[in-house]
């Protein structure tokens, strides 16, 4: 009898939960490492190691007992990846995707070097260097922390020098980016398997609320030419930067020009629509990729609008009507907090404008 594969996952959030769900469906077992005993990944994993990511006993156990190891978020310490490799762990994505995505200047510099357009940017470390950079770039700009920011956190809109003076500067690195007056943000989930196969999922059109992704519309309402170019750029990035596994990439579209915004080497919030609207989900393909299996062609079965369910939406969830075209996914987090992602809804159907209207009326 063929031995079932066991997947090790660093992190136990909602992405780990959905990876574990996919693994279970595919006949695999899973073990997650997460210091939070209430992490929602525990609801679907075969085993949950409640320890810090640097806990050597747990890391050795994962190395010994799993066929392959992956991560569900990009802030895993680099030394953890190195320790896993030194102890025989099979972690094909390696350290490089984390090294790049954990630091905005490294990330944008790497992408720019291979010929992918980004907004103009400058490294800054304090008020004086920020003022000098603003004179070079010209307002308006966005100031961001190089590390640790997400969902709009660690970002400031800079319209003039006095806005820089309102920032509470810390002893860290920042990036000052020229603001792109974009018409639309789109995202592409590209996956490269360890066997060399590369697949892309349909391009999504993203809308944000308070700096947090609100909904993703698929297919994106852009020309076929733009969609093809986004796919080409995404494949170029994953190949030229020698990245394996999933890579969620966000782009800005302006006057038919495409600007790289940021990337994440893990399943992506904007690709949650794949769970109900594609022949394979992003989590299925993530697992196949790191296991070295052939990657199948991805097909969009139905247009879809993915809507994030936030902590402030708890009362609305009680009233939602579910059917074949309305799929609700709740992550199982213990506390519903404002601006916290608690789940998502996939509205599926042929009339994309009608789906947007349903999502807007939630």
For 264-309, what is each residue's pLDDT tens digit? 999 999 999 999 999 999 999 999 999 999 999 999 999 999 999 9
Q: pLDDT > 90: what percent of the chain?
A: 93
CA distance 178 to 81: 34
Which of 148, 145, 151, 175 is CA-nearest to residue 77? 148
Residue 257 structure tokens: 């020009």
Q: Is the pLDDT of residue 148 over 50?
A: yes
Q: Is the pLDDT of residue 1 over 50?
A: no
**Cβ neighbours of residue 253 under 8 Å, at least 6 residues apart?**
182, 183, 184, 185, 186, 222, 226, 259
CA distance 88 to 99: 21
Residue 340 φ then ψ, to 5°: -105, 130
Q: Which residue's structure tokens are 């349903």? A: 358
> For residue 43, what is the domain's CATH number?
3.40.50.20
Question: Which residues are 252's β-sheet partners?
Answer: 185, 259
Please give the pLDDT value at position 324: 86
CA distance 119 to 316: 38
Mean pLDDT calculated for residue range 125-132: 97
Mean pLDDT calculated for residue range 194-214: 96
Sign of the Cα torsion 101, 106, 109, 115 reads negative
Q: Is the pLDDT of residue 214 over 80?
A: yes
* 302 within domain boundaries: yes
CB atoms inside a 10 Å sphere around CB 338? 9
Q: Assess contact for 255 and 157: CB atoms under 8 A.
A: no
Residue 237 structure tokens: 């990035």
CA distance 97 to 106: 11
Mean pLDDT calculated for residue range 317-339: 92
Identify whether residues 346 and 239 lie together within a single domain: yes
Please give the pLDDT value at position 154: 86
**Cβ neighbours of residue 323 under 8 Å, at least 6 residues apart?**
none
Q: Assess contact for 147 and 123: CB atoms under 8 A.
A: no
CA distance 276 to 301: 9
Q: Is the pLDDT of residue 129 over 90?
A: yes
**Cβ neighbours of residue 150 under 8 Å, at least 6 residues apart?**
none
Please give the pLDDT value at position 151: 65
Indicate the pLDDT class of residue 4, thresholds 50, 70 and 90: confident
Sign of the Cα torsion 115, 194, 90, 88 reads negative
Name the domain boundary from 132, 162, 178. Answer: 178
CA distance 300 to 276: 10
* 206 within domain boundaries: yes
Identify whether residues 210 and 142 lie together within a single domain: no
Q: Is the pLDDT of residue 171 over 90?
A: yes
Q: Is the pLDDT of residue 2 over 90?
A: no
pLDDT, averaged across the chain: 96
> For residue 221, what is the domain's CATH number?
3.30.470.20
Q: Is the pLDDT of residue 261 over 80?
A: yes
Q: Is the pLDDT of residue 70 over 50?
A: yes
Identify whether residues 327 and 252 lie together within a single domain: yes
Q: Assess contact for 213 and 187: CB atoms under 8 A.
A: no
CA distance 215 to 134: 32
Strands 184-192 and 198-200 turn out to be antiparallel
Q: Assess contact for 264 and 205: CB atoms under 8 A.
A: no
Which of 339, 336, 346, 331 is CA-nearest to residue 12? 331
CA distance 108 to 121: 9
* 171 within domain boundaries: yes
Please give the pLDDT value at position 152: 65
pLDDT digits (tens, 9 = 90+) for 17-31: 999 999 999 999 999
Identify whether residues 141 and 256 lie together within a single domain: no
CB atoms inside a 10 Å sphere around CB 209? 12
Identify whether residues 46 and 173 lie together within a single domain: no
Residue 265 structure tokens: 């080497």
Q: Assess contact for 12 and 33: CB atoms under 8 A.
A: yes
Range of the domain at 199: 184-360
Identify whether residues 144 and 191 lie together within a single domain: no
Q: Is the pLDDT of residue 341 over 90?
A: yes
* 113 within domain boundaries: no
Name the domain boundary from 91, 109, 134. Answer: 91
Identify whether residues 166 and 221 lie together within a single domain: no
Indicate the pLDDT class of residue 318, thresholds 50, 70 and 90: confident
Identify whether residues 219 and 354 lie together within a single domain: yes
Name the domain boundary from 178, 199, 227. Answer: 178
Q: What is the pTM of this model?
A: 0.95
């Amino acid at each position: 009898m063929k031995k079932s594969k066991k997947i090790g996952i660093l992190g136990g959030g909602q992405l780990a939960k959905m990876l574990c769900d996919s693994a279970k469906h595919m006949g695999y077992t899973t073990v997650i490492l997460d210091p939070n005993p209430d992490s929602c990944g525990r609801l679907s994993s075969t085993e949950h190691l409640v320890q810090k990511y640097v806990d050597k006993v747990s890391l050795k156990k994962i190395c010994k007992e799993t066929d392959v190891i992956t991560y569900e978020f990009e802030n895993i310490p680099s030394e953890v990846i190195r320790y896993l490799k030194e102890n025989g762990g099979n972690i094909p994505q390696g350290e490089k995707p984390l090294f790049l995505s954990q630091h905005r200047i490294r990330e944008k510099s790497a992408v720019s070097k291979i010929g992918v357009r980004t907004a103009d940017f400058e490294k800054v470390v304090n008020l004086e260097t920020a003022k000098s950079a603003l004179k070079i770039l010209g307002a308006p700009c966005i100031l961001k922390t190089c590390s640790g920011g997400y969902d709009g956190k660690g970002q400031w809109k800079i319209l003039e020098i006095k806005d820089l003076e309102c920032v509470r500067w810390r002893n860290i690195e920042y990036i000052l980016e020229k603001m792109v007056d974009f018409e639309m943000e789109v995202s592409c989930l590209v996956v490269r398997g360890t066997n060399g196969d590369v697949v892309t999922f349909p391009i999504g059109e993203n809308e944000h609320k308070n700096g947090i992704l609100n909904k993703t519309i698929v297919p994106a309402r852009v020309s076929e030419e733009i969609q093809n170019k986004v796919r080409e750029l995404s494949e170029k990035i994953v190949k030229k930067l020698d990245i394996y596994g999933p890579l969620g990439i966000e782009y800005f579209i302006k006057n038919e020009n495409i600007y790289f915004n940021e990337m994440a080497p893990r399943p992506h919030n904007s690709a949650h629509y794949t769970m109900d609207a594609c022949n394979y989900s992003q989590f299925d393909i993530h697992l196949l990729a790191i296991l070295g299996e052939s990657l199948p062609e991805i097909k969009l079965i139905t247009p879809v609008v993915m809507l994030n369910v936030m902590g402030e939406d708890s009362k609305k969830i009680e009233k939602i009507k579910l059917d074949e075209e309305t799929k609700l996914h709740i992550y199982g987090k213990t506390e519903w907090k404002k601006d916290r992602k608690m789940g998502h809804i996939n509205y599926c159907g042929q009339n994309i404008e009608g789906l947007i209207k349903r999502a807007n009326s939630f």
